[in-house]
């Protein structure tokens, strides 16, 4: 496990590093493919020997997957992780809540660049996901397809001529594809226009979720938007649909920011600087407060109202301010809320001052 | 008027410069003597020629007063001041509200060190006041007495063998003396023990008031405590009574701060640093917000929880954050609240960073 310590300790994520197109609004773009092996029950109905078989099959093709990806993957068996470690991987969006519910025979293969991860025995046998920073669904789709192609060339994947890829949950049937983008929409929130976006999304076949996906609260004005349907469309059709919807949302967000600039610039400037002052000096910070304040500071940076912080601080705080990350770094999963809030305030000061937490 | 521009522009006050005894709690000590000339009606019943006569008499002894004080006095005629200038003198505690109500034939003589001021034709013909930084009523009493002695040696002051000094308002009859101290009591406020002090004061013959005297709100956890009675006691008796009450209050405040240190140090530290962060970065600040935040920061400095600001910043902000001071500095008495709040935030940043506002 020594080689993957950085997987839990580093709050920098290459797919969330403020690079790429429209990265002042689109934090990251992600493609996920659901795949299952033919003749083996879906994980929720498979017994341990069948789950073990799935993991062996997945592991058997990892060499080819690495060659296709052009980089090595860390193999992480969920059974071997501590509780905070598992949760850090969720906080880093590398695995899902679902994967840790029953850790036995569950694994995740994470590429060393952290752009790709393959979950084994999640809801489906394989969940291939690729992520990049900024607004760009083509690259992660090409990456995920390449990994999928090499897996399908070696192993027998459940595919029906009429239905497409078979999946555990009917919402994934067909392409097994979920495309999603993580958006920072403070302009729409502060101008109270976000409701329109959320209400119209289902009609466009899109789902809007909070920072950690389905059923999670919106914090830090961060929204995840993804396609709801997977059946009856081609992969590129789904991606194009999401892409054009996101382009619209970006335009709305830019208009909202322009309106803020025109009508409430001074008050916004005050709020942004106050948020910065609190983040910089507070001794205790909750997770929701950090992201609410950091969202304002990030908006202030994007609108050139403030220059004392780097824009990528916001992206780093998305990982570094999370409770399990902090508990894991402290080596103590029983840290009190108070202690976590204090550690959080410490790392926030570190990140805002541009120092690496590990150098401290 | 050129020579007294500094009277309005400078937010440093020698009697409020954080020097002297117990200056972490007692901001300043003040003695005021009320005196009237025999045979001339009190100012509120005097006609213009009588008021003019009073001012002439007062002016005629100014040379002797200066010799006694060992320093020159600026003669400021209220008629010649702009509205903001008059109000700045109130904000600096050099004159009273009462003096500016009818400015005709009203004057104030202010010593160049600003430790002494003599109001002419306020409620009484003469109001001699002397102020020093910290807890020390003896020095200003000695100063005021010296000025009074030289005036009484030259002019005929209304004094009755039985009643003592005659004054316009019966509450000043007798000694004509009011002794007062300005206290910073955040410990008693935050531990909710201030009520006890306020409730017991009248029984001790003391009045508790806000930053600007009678009928003003408490802001910045600053309280003025003074003797209520002037008749039936000697001057030294009144001063001793106030001194011993203030010693008690200081002890209570120190106990309250110790309790905060023991029981809520961490949370207090967080509050203190947040207050500092907001003061340092906010773009708009109201007067009450500045003093509430500055009070926390000052407490933090006194309790050694924070070291990024100098203690005297608090004293300076008491003058520099006042609305009329800011309007006068801007040369515009019609500045909107918004503009004043912005100027206030600017000067707060200046003072916290240790720069002189006039150097900017």
Q: Please give the DSSP secondary-structure letter assigned to residue B217.
A: P
pLDDT by residue (tens digit) across B82-132? 999 999 999 999 999 999 999 999 999 999 999 999 999 999 999 999 999
Predicted local distance difference test score (pLDDT) of residue B286: 96
- Give the closest-approach CA distance of A191 to chain B in angstroms: 21
CA distance B338 to chain A (A): 10
Contact of B164 with B231, CB cutoff 8 Å: yes
pLDDT tens readout for residues B138-188: 999 999 999 999 999 999 999 999 999 999 998 899 999 999 999 999 999
Size of interface A-B (CB pairs under 8 A): 52
Backbone angles phi, psi at B258, to 5 degrees: -65, -40
CB pair distance less than 8 Å for B267 and A284: yes
Chain A residue with CA closest to B270: the answer is: A283
Contact B166/B173 with Cβ under 8 angstroms? yes
User: What are the E-state strand segments in chain A?
Assistant: 26-35, 73-77, 107-111, 116-120, 126-133, 159-160, 164-165, 177-184, 206-209, 222-227
- What sign has the CA pseudo-torsion B164, B167, B170, B175? negative
Q: What percent of chain B has pLDDT over 90?
A: 86
Q: Could you tell me if B359 lies within 8 Å of chain A, comparing CB atoms?
A: no
Q: Do B281 and A266 touch (CB under 8 A)?
A: no
Among the partner-chain residues A267, A273, A345, the one whose CB lies closest to the CB of B281 is: A273
Instruction: Return the pLDDT at A218.
Output: 78
CA pair distance B169, B175, nearest whole angstrom: 12
Residue from A283, A289, A342, A352 to probe the interface with B (highest B Cβ count within 10 Å): A283
pLDDT digits (tens, 9 = 90+) for A259-275: 999 999 999 999 999 99
The reported pTM is: 0.91
SS3 A270: helix
Of B274, B280, B284, the CB nearest to A270: B284
Chain A contact present for B270, CB below 8 A: yes
d(CA A62, CA A68): 10
Residues B340 and B284: their CA atoms lie apart, in Å, by: 8
- A34: its two tokens: 């659901």
Interface contact A352, partner B, CB < 8 A: no
Helix, strand, coil percent content, chain A, rounded in steps of 5: 50, 15, 30
| Partners of B160 in the β-ladder | B164
Question: What is the nearest CA distance from A274 to chain B, expressed in angstroms?
Answer: 5
* B93 phi-psi bin (left φ>0, alpha ψ -120 to 50, beta other): left
Cα–Cα distances in angstroms (integers) from residue A105 to residues A80, A151, A258, B302, in the given order: 10, 19, 51, 59
Closest CA to A8 of A89, A69, A67, A70: A89
Measure the CA–CA gap between B217 and B95, rounded to whole angstroms.
18
Q: A229 with A172: CB under 8 angstroms? A: no
Contacts of A279 in chain B (CB under 8 A): 277
* Residue A355 CB contacts under 8 Å (≥ 6 apart), including other chains: none
Do A27 and A182 meet the contact criterion of CB atoms below 8 Å apart? yes
Low-confidence residues of chain A: pLDDT under 70: 1-3, 212-217, 355-360
pLDDT, position B358: 42
The number of beta carbons lying within 10 Å of the beta carbon of residue B78 is 22
Go through B295-311 and write b for each residue having 16 or more CB atoms within 10 A of its CB, e for each that does not. bbbbbbbbbebbeebee
Instruction: Give pLDDT tens digits for A190-215.
Output: 999 998 888 888 888 899 988 766 66
Q: Do residues A72 and A111 lie in contact, with contact meaning Cβ atoms separated by under 8 Å?
A: yes
A206: which 2 tokens?
Answer: 């899109």
* pLDDT at residue A8 in the model: 92
Dihedral sign from CA coordinates of A241, A246, A249, A254: negative
- Chain segment B14-40, per-residue pLDDT in tens: 999 999 999 999 999 999 999 999 999
Note whether B238 and B179 are within 8 A (CB).
yes
Q: Which chain A residues are closer than 8 Å to B273 by Cβ?
A: 281-283
Backbone angles phi, psi at B164, to 5 degrees: 90, -150
User: pLDDT for B251-266, tens place per residue?
Assistant: 999 999 999 999 999 9
Q: Across the interface, which of B266, B279, B281 has its CB nearest the CB of A276?
A: B281
Pick from B264, B277, B307, B353 the residue to mutate for testing the A interface (most A CBs within 10 Å). Answer: B277
Task: Give the per-residue pLDDT at B357.
Answer: 43
Helix (H, G, I), strand (E, B) or coil at A33: strand
B154 Cβ under 8 Å from any chain A Cβ? no
How close is the nearest chain B Cα to the Cα of A222, in Å?
A: 25
Q: Residue B196: how many CB atoms within 10 A of its CB?
A: 11
B180 is written with which tokens? 């007062």
CB proximity B345 to A under 8 Å: yes
* Angle between helix B62-69 and B48-60 (nearest 10): 40
Chain B stretch 280-309, residues whose beta carbon is closer than 8 A to a beta carbon of chain A: 280-284
CA dihedral of B171, B172, B175, B179, whole degrees rounded to 10: 100
Tell me if A281 and B282 make a contact (CB, 8 A cut-off).
no
**Could you report the per-residue pLDDT of B186-210, keeping only the tens digit for each?**
999 999 999 888 888 888 889 998 8
User: To the nearest whole angstrom, how far is the Cα of B288 from the nearest Cα of chain A?
Assistant: 17
């Amino acid at each position: 496990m020594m080689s993957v310590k950085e997987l839990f300790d580093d709050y920098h994520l290459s797919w969330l590093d403020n690079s790429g197109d429209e990265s002042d609004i689109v934090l990251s773009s992600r493609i996920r493919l659901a795949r299952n092996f033919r003749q083996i029950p879906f994980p929720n109905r498979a017994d341990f020997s069948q789950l073990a078989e799935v993991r062996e099959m997945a592991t058997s093709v990892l060499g080819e997957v690495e060659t296709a990806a052009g980089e090595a993957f860390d193999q992480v068996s969920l059974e071997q992780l501590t509780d905070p470690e598992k949760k850090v991987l969720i906080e880093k969006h590398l695995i899902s809540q679902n994967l840790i519910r029953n850790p036995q025979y569950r694994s995740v293969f994470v590429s060393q660049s952290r752009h790709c991860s393959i979950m084994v025995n999640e809801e489906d046998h394989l969940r291939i996901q690729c992520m990049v920073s900024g607004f760009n669904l083509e690259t992660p789709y090409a990456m995920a397809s390449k990994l999928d192609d090499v897996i399908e060339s070696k192993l027998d994947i459940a595919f029906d001529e009429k239905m497409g890829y078979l999946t555990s949950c009917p919402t994934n049937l067909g392409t097994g594809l979920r495309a999603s983008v993580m958006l920072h929409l403070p302009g729409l929130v502060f101008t109270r226009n976000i409701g329109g976006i959320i209400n119209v999304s289902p009609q466009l076949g899109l789902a809007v979720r909070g920072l950690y996906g389905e059923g999670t609260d919106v914090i830090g004005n961060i929204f995840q938007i993804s396609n709801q349907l997977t059946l009856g469309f081609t992969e590129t059709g789904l991606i194009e649909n999401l892409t054009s919807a996101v382009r619209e949302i970006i335009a709305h967000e830019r208009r909202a920011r322009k309106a803020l600039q025109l009508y409430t610039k001074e008050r916004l400037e005050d709020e942004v600087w106050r948020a910065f002052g609190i983040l910089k000096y507070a001794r205790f910070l909750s997770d929701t407060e950090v992201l609410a304040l950091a969202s304002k500071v990030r908006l202030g940076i994007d609108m050139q109202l403030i220059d004392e912080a780097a824009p990528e601080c916001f992206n780093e705080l998305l990982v570094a301010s999370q409770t399990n990350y902090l508990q894991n770094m402290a080596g103590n999963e029983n840290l009190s809320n108070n202690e976590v809030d204090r550690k959080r305030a410490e790392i926030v000061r570190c990140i805002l001052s541009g120092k690496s937490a590990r150098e401290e």
